[in-house]
């Protein structure tokens, strides 16, 4: 038996990286999943996972797309237990070089996308009356700053504060909201970053992480084993955030 047997999850950014890894881990643990992405690669993820997954295209910055995505869980699988707001963008820019377009793009996906996914998850879960679990993707950048990431870090710090507020507001309905903060994870988005001198050594474990290592934490947070865990921020960074420079 898996620790997510009988549960249904919605996962954004599921076409690749940590979103796809989460879909794979959740299905392995017995869940059925709605896999959403803007790229079209969500279909490939669903095909790999078979009848336990249903693909839906979704622009997480669009409220109508997000509403349709959440409704798909009920239409396809009859319930909703977890929403994982994984989709995000990382685009470096020094503050003085950052354009309004850069700012708006990162805010739209990284923060508005989490806001919309959480809002419509809460609305649906409250209507169903069975509680639920929301897991939002922040970043090590939401905890600590670095060069050329002022806007990115602002969005990810916003996710942390927003998630804590969501946990407080929704707890009386049995809805838990938690946040994961990945460090350096080997994904297409981080490709080449491991070549930066000292990058991997910043983690106490001396290595980068794999997408499934973050997905495993999310699976625990979505499970009944985490039934009294809400409003927490969990770095999944190999001990990077525990170190002083």
Active site residues: 152
Q: How far is CA 234 from CA 73, 139, 140, 160, 230, in A?
A: 26, 10, 10, 10, 11
Q: Find all residues with CB under 8 Å of 206, minimum gap 6, and list them.
A: 200, 238
Residue burial 62-82, b: 16+ Cβ < 10 Å; e: rest: beebbbbbbbbbeeebeebbb
Q: Find all residues with CB under 8 Å of 24, minimum gap 6, and list them.
A: 48, 49, 212, 215
CA torsion sign for 41, 208, 26, 112 is: negative
Q: How far is CA 11 from CA 14, 23, 50, 53, 222, in A?
A: 6, 7, 16, 10, 12
């Amino acid at each position: 038996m898996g620790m997510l047997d009988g549960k249904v999850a919605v996962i954004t950014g599921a076409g690749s990286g940590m979103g796809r890894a989460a879909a794979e881990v959740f299905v392995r643990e017995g869940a059925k999943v709605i896999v959403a992405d803007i790229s079209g690669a969500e279909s490939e993820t669903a095909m790999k996972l078979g009848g336990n997954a249903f693909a839906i295209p979704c622009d997480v910055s669009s409220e109508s797309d997000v509403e349709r995505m959440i409704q798909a869980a009920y239409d396809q699988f009859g319930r909703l237990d977890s929403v994982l707001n994984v989709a995000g963008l990382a685009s470096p820019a020094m503050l003085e070089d950052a354009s309004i377009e850069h700012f708006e793009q990162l805010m739209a996906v990284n923060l508005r996308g989490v806001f919309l996914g959480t809002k419509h998850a809460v609305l649906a879960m409250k209507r169903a009356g069975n509680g639920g679990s929301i897991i939002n993707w922040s970043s090590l950048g939401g905890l600590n700053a670095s060069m050329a990431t002022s806007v990115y870090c602002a969005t990810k710090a916003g996710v942390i504060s927003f998630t804590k507020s969501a946990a407080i507001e929704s707890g009386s309905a049995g809805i838990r909201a938690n946040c994961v903060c990945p460090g350096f994870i080997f994904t297409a988005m981080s490709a080449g970053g491991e070549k930066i001198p000292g990058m991997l050594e910043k983690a106490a474990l001396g290595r980068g992480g794999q997408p499934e290592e973050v997905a495993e934490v999310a699976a625990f947070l979505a499970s009944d084993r985490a039934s009294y865990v809400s409003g927490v921020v969990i770095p999944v960074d190999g001990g990077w955030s525990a170190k002083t420079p």
